[in-house]
Structure 1
Amino acid sequence: MTHRRTFIRQSSLIAGGLWLSPALLQAQQSIAPSDQIRVALIGANNMGFGILRHHLALPEVSCVAICDVDQNVLDKRLKEVEDATGKRPERYTDFRKLLERKDLDAVIIGTPDHWHCLITLAACEAGKDVYVEKPMANTIGECELMVKAESRYQRIIQVGQQQRAGQAFIESRDLVKSGYLGKIRKINIWSNFNYGLGNEFKPATPVPDGVDYDFWLGPAPKRDFNPNRFHGSWRHFWDYGGGLMSDWGVHLLDMAIWVEENPAAPSTVMTYAKNVNKENRDRDTFDTMNVLFPKKDFLINYDMNGGLQSGPYNKPYGIAYVGELGTLVVNRGGYEIYPEWDGTANAPKCEVKKLEGTKESHNLHVANFVECIKTRNQPNCPPEAGRLAALHAHIPNIAARIGAESLTWDDEKRQFIGNGAANAMIWPEYREPWKLPKV
């Protein structure tokens, strides 16, 4: 398996954000057809299209198709790809038709969370590799199905937890696991973002022209159209997402799990959750949560505040690995170590280390996925890693929804201990005619 740092070196040569450079287009033309990787995008509005752009910044990748149930978004993205590459992808409004293509190697899934499992399994069954956005799925049970699908169909599945490809997080993990900070006592995580409040209430409106809203809902319950439950803000409703907890929490909690000696599902999870700001806000999910995960190696403490933008160390979000010799604080912009003071030696217990100016790592994560399509090696974030991260987000959300201060999860049996209400939320109920996939 190629080391992650190899991808960082390789990808430093890639214009990951350029759309697109003449040199890159010339390089793409020199790739033999047998060496090309043909991808399609399913769900093209926001993050999905951003991930496609990173794919197209790799010379061996071409986009042969785009699928979306909103024809306005679809037409816009088709034109943007054609303008950038000189080739117009084929147009689809039904992902099932797209997956019938024989000239397709992989799909990018950028849909709302409630579609992730169903489309991933259909793509694996059709022999396609998959890049699926995080969280891996909208329920615990669907995550389990996706792990099984990887094994059964022998596909490459990369979950979009791109921090695993980021220099700041890789170096932080190496420092923690090397013992540089001494024994880790706990990991403090915080995420404070205004959008966690959800939108102000809006009246229901007719379905916009060009939108197949029934298909957009898919397996989710039938509801009247409301713009608050559609593009961008759908994540604040349990039917489609898990709020700030599963949107940002899954990223940051993944970085805590990543430094465990043997990454594992949470066992006992203690949760406080509340909607503190109730003024004219349309949402199911919570704006304020504190969660404790007592793990074998250390305690994880997660603090979430929708509607706030400041946090510890003057950072709106971050992770603090608290060790006996010092604390390492990291986010996507870099890291810094704050040493503990040794009064006897009159010196810091470890040396200060600092990394500044690092950037988003979506392009590196995508490069890793494409490399794994070619080598069939395990990607940065395979389904089991995505499942573990999702569990750490879904269990607190389930606890908050049923009013439980504490839940105990038995990962071997894949169920909660002694709580029928929580167990009833492990699996979703799909709306007809959609059916929960089987593996």
Structure 2
Amino acid sequence: MNNSRRHFIRSASALMAGAGLVSALPSSLRAVAPSDKINIAAIGINGMGWSDLTAILKNPYAQCVALCDVDKNVLDKKAAELLEKKNQKAKTYSDYRKLLEDKSIDAVIIGTPDHWHCLQMTDAVSAGKDVYVEKPIGNSIGEINAMVAAQERTKRVVQVGQWQRSQQHFKDAIAFVHSGKLGQVRLVKAWAYMGWMHSIPKQPDGVPPAGVDYAAWLGPAEKKPFNPNRFHFNFRWYWDYAGGLMTDWGVHLLDYALLGMKAQHPKSVMAAGGKFAYPDDACETPDTLTTVYQFDGFNIQWEHATGIDGGPYNRTHGIAFIGNNGTLVLDRSGWEVIPEKGKMEAVPFTKSVDNGLDKHAVNFLEVIKSRKLEDLNTPIQAGAHVAAVAQLGNIAYKTGKKLNWDGVKGKFDDNAANKYLAAEYHNGYKIPKI
């Protein structure tokens, strides 16, 4: 989107807002000319990439002009759905690099597996695109650092898909934590108990489905035979492509543990767990894990368990700030305060009333228009912070040690652990230089 188009959109928005028209008119009447819309492309559209695009396209200022996926079956299906539901005809690509050559594209959504985020995000900002990238932003601390450096070099808008930061009840809960009413908070628990996750039976290697460019799907990951268990959704449970529940749900929930405590770098981290529920299934990442991060004056504890719904405080997921006066319990449905006897008043359950993903999409588009990067709800620096903390937990699990972490130098006091900080790229790909 060129400067004149941005000026038009800002001017029109200001005029309508001043007249009280934006909120009064239905979205169908708040359309703008196609030439003045923000042109969006999506790379990786089988899961959250498609959800993110759907949320963004609820805004009348956005239109989808391009889709990219290495699975032609998914690509054709989503292109047809986009045309049918939104009357938007998008160009289709199997190679994201070709998509990035299109100068008419203003912003891209990256919804690919985690091991692709770094290359695609850095290439996108280098091509002059703004980016909405799914969490976790990278699959290693080395990638995370490279992504932050690329954004800071190019000054592009980069929103990370931690949409809880746009949801009001999360903000309200953290404001209560910061009020001091809980007293001294010495322990924060964050957890994900995923009863819907069952054992994934092992399957033999085979040939990729027709229409799938498997080499492109692997990208910088180690070359291995195609296996259906490693493809699409279940990539999350293999170290080559992701970090299991620690980086899948942990990034969302640890983010609020860190925000509530205004915490930066942990002093140490230790983790224990394993494949206790399904020791012989196809997954690599642990189905049961407890991780403890030590900070000055408090600990943050992460735990997850698959196949079980009975998490702490009878919640499948959440964050608990445990203070001397009471405990605030927060999850996606709402928050409440459970008092210590005689020390404070209870705060009854406050239910969530808004859609965090939709609001996150609007925030992204607004900053594209305004260019005020400080207004992003989850800038890449915030996404990098919690992604790195989650990676520290996985490294502690892999080493089986309590590790001391130097947040300033960005390394452990253990050489074996430091080997896990950098990504190992294959197939001719190279991690972007900082």
| TM-score, structure 1 as length reference | 0.90
Unaligned 5+ segments in structure 2 are: 1-16
1:96-245 equivalences in 2 (<5 Å): 96-194=97-195, 199-245=200-246
Question: Contact 1:260/1:297 (CA < 8 Å) preserved in 2?
Answer: no
Give the deviation of 1:374 after TM superposition.
1.2
1:279 offset after TM fit, Å? 4.6
1:265-324 deviations in Å (ceiling 9; x for gaps): 222002112210235410110011111111235211112112211112221111111122
**Structure 1 unmatched runs, 5+:** 1-8, 15-21, 343-347
For 1:411, which of 399, 407, 410 is the aligned residue?
A: 407
Matched, 1:381 2:383: no
Shift of 1:258: 0.8
Aligned partner of 2:69 in structure 1 is 68
Q: Residue in 1 aligned with 2:363? A: 368
**Could you say which residue in structure 2 is the equivalent of 1:6?**
none
Q: Is contact 2:221-2:427 (8 Å) kept? A: no
Q: Distance in 2 between matches of 1:198 and 1:97?
A: 38
Please identify runs of 4+ aligned residues in structure 1 that moved more than 6 A.
none
| Equivalent residues in 2 for 1:80-91, closer than 5 Å | 80-91=81-92
CA distance in 2: counterparts of 1:297 and 1:110, whole angstroms: 38
Answer whether contact 1:191 1:305 (CA < 8 A) is retained.
Answer: yes
Q: How large is the RMSD of aligned CA atoms in angstroms?
A: 1.9
Q: SS state of the match for residue 189, structure 1?
A: strand
Question: How much identity, in percent, do the aligned residues show?
Answer: 42
**What does residue 316 of structure 1 align with?**
316
CA distance in 2, matches of 1:198, 1:240: 19
Match of 1:393 in 2: 390
Quick one: which of 419, 422, 425 aligns to 2:420? 425
Q: Which residue of 1 aligns with 2:4?
A: none
Aligned residues of 1:339 and 1:350 also touching (Cα < 8 A)? yes
Q: Secondary structure at the match of 2:164?
A: helix
| CA shift digits 1:39-93 (9 cap, x unpaired) | 1000010110000000000010000100000000000110111111212110111
Deviations 1:87-108 (A, max 9, x none): 2110111000000111111100
Does the 8 Å CA contact 1:332/1:360 hold for their aligned counterparts?
no
Instruction: Tell me, in whole angstroms, the C-alpha distance in 2 between the residues paired with 1:25 and 1:101.
Output: 28
- Give, in angstroms, the shift of residue 353 of structure 1: 3.6
1:26 Cα offset (Å): 4.7
Report the residue type matching 2:179 in the other structure: S
| Contact 1:201 1:282 survives alignment (8 Å) | yes
Q: Indicate if the aligned counterparts of 1:130 and 1:156 stay in contact, CA closer than 8 A.
A: yes
Q: Indicate the residue corresponding to 1:3 in structure 2.
A: none
Q: CA deviation at 1:194?
A: 3.4
Match of 1:327 in 2: 327
Post-superposition Cα deviations, 1:186-224, rounded to whole Å, max 9, x if no partner, equal 111121113555511112222100000010000000011
Verify the 8 A CA contact 1:266 1:391 in the aligned structure 2: no
Deviation at 1:117, TM superposition (A): 0.4
Count of aligned residue pairs for this structure pair: 411
Alignment partner, residue 345 of structure 1: none
- Cα deviation for residue 225 of structure 1 reads 0.6
Q: Is the contact made by 2:168 and 2:352 (CA closer than 8 Å) also made in structure 1?
A: no
CA distance in 1, matches of 2:144, 2:265: 13
Measure, in 2, the Cα distance between the counterparts of 1:136 and 1:351.
Answer: 37
Determine the structure 2 residue equivalent to 1:17: none
Give yes or no for the alignment of 1:349 onto 2:344: yes
Q: Distance in 2 between matches of 1:156 and 1:107?
A: 11
Partner Cα separation in structure 1 for residue 266 and residue 186 of structure 2 = 17
